């Protein structure tokens, strides 16, 4: 009876797996604050993607981890066709064709030597100069074969700037998943290790104040008006009210990102025997879907998909 009347159902096809690919490593390296999640080599990336496809997870979101020596003030390695992220996008498209949907993170923070998501002028991130660099990065990712680009830097006007650049380069079919309501969150902590971030300080001049709800509705509306194909709320569980609000007003699909800190907390408590890890994993994903997410980016994607297959 519970199954028959269940109002919310997860499906592996809802899940998007974020993955890290690193330059200069010869074997996959586990991220210590995210046990079970790895920085990949090209080879280990491909085998991890095969495993995801086998259980029905058909979309991945790729983050690049360049060598420190390739970082500079503008993050120019991000639009280098031979840069680690673009090489990985190309490799996955060659290997999996259109069986896999490949999304690339369109943000400079992994590639800048100061770790900010944009160009820093006089100590602050310059919004409009950053947009030009996002355009170059998005076009390089689309040239490499990305089906989706995902601007995560929270610069004003980033969706329109990227849409125009993609269209001008003949990439009308490449879609944009916009990080629309992204908070300056301490839940991103483990991600800094995952991408070897050089950041000192914080992102409060461009990411949102956790105290604000209304602002998220405005940010989301702006992204929709600029042509976003998907909008996103991030983090997920601490912001379910925001997610529900965005789901209510958005005419385009709504994604939510269960971030590194959310993963780390569940994983850590599970490993200590303090909670039932699998049950909390499924409950958290169900709650995110119930609140209104159509797609969920989660480091649990493969394990959750396995569980869903066992249960069905």
- Per rule CB under 6 A, count of chain residues that contact ligand PBG: 10
The stretch among 51-59, 103-111, 130-138, 272-280 that binds ligand PBG (CB under 6 A) is 103-111
Instruction: Pick the binder of ligand PBG from 152, 208, 216, 298 (CB under 6 A).
Output: 152
How many Å apart are CA 267 and CA 281, to the nearest integer? 9
Within positions 198 to 257, which residues make up the interface with ligand PBG, using CB under 6 A? 203
**Window contacting ligand PBG (CB under 6 A); options: 1-9, 105-113, 208-216, 241-249:** 105-113
Report, as residue numbers or ranges, the catalytic residues. Answer: 182, 234
CB of 311 to ligand PBG, least distance (A): 26
Alpha-carbon separation of residue 54 from 15, 17, 225 (angstroms): 13, 13, 37
Q: How far is the CB of 203 from ligand PBG (least distance, A)?
A: 6
Q: Which is nearer to ligand PBG, 152 or 295 (CB)?
A: 152
- Tell me how far apart the alpha carbons of residues 1 and 141 are, in angstroms, rounded to a whole number: 47
User: Judged by CB under 6 A, which of 260, 284, 295, 298 binds ligand PBG?
Assistant: 260
Angle at 46 between CA 176 and CA 286, to 5 degrees: 55
Closer residue to ligand PBG, CB minimum distance, 95 or 265 = 265
Is 103 an interacting residue with respect to ligand PBG (CB under 6 A)?
no
Q: How far apart are CA 215 and CA 274, in angstroms?
A: 36
Binding-site residue ranges: 192, 203, 219, 260, 299
Q: Please tell me the distance from the alpha carbon of residue 14 to that of residue 27, in angstroms, as a whole number.
A: 30
C-alpha distance from residue 5 to each of 8, 150, 291, 293 (Å): 9, 36, 17, 20
Q: Give the residue numbers of the binding site for Mg(2+).
A: 219
Q: Which helix (H) or strand (E) holds 113?
A: none
Nearer CB in complex with ligand PBG: 2/200? 200
Q: Which is nearer to ligand PBG, 77 or 109 (CB)?
A: 109
Those residues with Cβ within 8 angstroms of residue 218's Cβ, 6 or more apart along the chain or in another chain:
none
Half-sphere exposure of 12 (CA within 13 A, CB side): 19
135, exposed or middle or buried, with CB in 10 Å at 0-12, 13-18, 19+?
Answer: buried
Q: Buried b / exposed e across 53-68, counting CB within 10 Å, b at 16+?
A: bebbbbbbbbbbbbee
Nearest to 108 by CA among 154, 147, 143, 156: 154
Numbered residues of the known binding site for 5-aminolevulinate: 192, 203, 260, 299
Show the site string, 36-55: x = touches ligand PBG by CB under 6 A, - = not: --------------------
- Which part of the chain contacts ligand PBG (CB under 6 A), choosing from 5-13, 102-110, 131-139, 303-311? 102-110
Binding site for ligand PBG (CB under 6 A): 105, 107, 109, 117, 152, 188, 191, 203, 259-260
């Amino acid at each position: 009876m519970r199954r028959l009347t269940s109002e919310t159902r997860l499906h592996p096809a809802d899940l998007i797996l974020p993955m890290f690919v690193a330059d200069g490593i010869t074997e996959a390296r586990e991220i210590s604050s995210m046990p079970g999640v790895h920085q990949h080599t090209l080879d280990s990336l491909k085998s991890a993607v095969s495993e995801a496809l086998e259980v029905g997870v058909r979309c991945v979101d790729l983050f690049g981890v360049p060598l420190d020596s390739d970082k500079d003030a503008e993050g120019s390695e991000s639009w280098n066709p031979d840069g680690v992220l673009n090489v990985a996008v190309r490799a996955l498209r060659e290997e999996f064709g259109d069986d896999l949907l490949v999304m690339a993170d369109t943000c400079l923070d992994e590639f800048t030597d100061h770790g900010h998501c944009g160009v820093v002028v006089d100590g602050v991130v310059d919004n409009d100069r950053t947009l030009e660099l996002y355009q170059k990065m998005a076009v390089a990712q689309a040239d490499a074969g990305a089906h989706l680009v995902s601007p995560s830097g929270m610069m004003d006007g980033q969706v329109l700037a990227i849409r125009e650049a993609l269209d001008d380069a003949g990439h009308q079919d490449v879609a944009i998943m916009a990080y629309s309501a992204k908070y300056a969150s301490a839940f991103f902590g483990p991600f800094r290790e995952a991408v070897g971030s050089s950041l000192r300080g914080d992102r409060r001049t461009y990411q949102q104040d956790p105290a604000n709800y209304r602002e998220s509705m405005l940010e989301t509306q702006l992204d929709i008006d600029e042509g976003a194909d998907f909008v996103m709320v991030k983090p997920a569980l601490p912001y379910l009210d925001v997610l529900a609000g965005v789901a209510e007003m958005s005419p385009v699909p709504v994604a939510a990102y269960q971030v590194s800190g959310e993963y780390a907390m569940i994983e850590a408590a599970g490993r200590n025997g303090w909670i039932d890890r699998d049950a909390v994993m499924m409950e958290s994903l169900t709650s995110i879907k119930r609140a209104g997410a159509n797609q969920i980016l989660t480091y649990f994607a493969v394990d959750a998909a396995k569980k869903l297959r066992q249960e069905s």
